[in-house]
Amino acid sequence: MTTVLVSCSGASADPPTETSASPSPSASAAAPEEEALAVYEGMWAVIAEQSRTTDPDYAALEPYATGQALDFASESLKARAQDGVVARGAPVHSPEADNVDAEAAAVVIRDCVDTTDWLQEDAESGELVEESPREPIRRQAEATVSRDGQTWKVSELLLGQAGSC
Q: For residue range 115-149, what is the model confidence (pLDDT) as tens digits?
A: 999 999 999 999 998 887 888 899 999 999 999 88
Distances in Å between the alpha carbon of 17 and those of 5, 63, 64, 90, 97? 23, 20, 19, 7, 25
The reported pLDDT for the residue numbered 13 is: 37
Predicted confidence (pLDDT) per residue in 63-91, tens digit: 999 999 999 999 999 999 999 999 999 99
Q: How confident is the model at residue 27 (pLDDT cuts 50, 70, 90)?
A: very low
Distance (Å, whole) CA 102 – CA 137? 33
Residue 29: band (very low, low, confident or very high) from pLDDT cuts 50, 70, 90: low
Give residue 101's pLDDT. Answer: 83
pLDDT at 12: 36
State which H helix or E strand residue 113 sits in: strand 106-114
Residue 157 has pLDDT above 90, yes or no: yes
Can you give the pLDDT at residue 88?
A: 93
- Predicted confidence at residue 84, as pLDDT, reads 96
Q: What is the pTM of this model?
A: 0.81
H helix or E strand, kind and range, residue 43: helix 32-50
- Listed residue (12, 17, 21) closest to 88, CA to CA: 12
State the pLDDT at residue 2. 37
150 pLDDT tier (thresholds 50, 70, 90): confident
Query: If you average pLDDT over every residue of the chain, what do you get?
Result: 85
d(CA 26, CA 147): 9
Give residue 103's pLDDT.
Answer: 78
Please say whether the dihedral angle defined by the alpha carbons of residues 69, 62, 66 and 23, taken in this order, is positive or negative: negative
What integer pLDDT is reported at residue 130 of this predicted model? 84
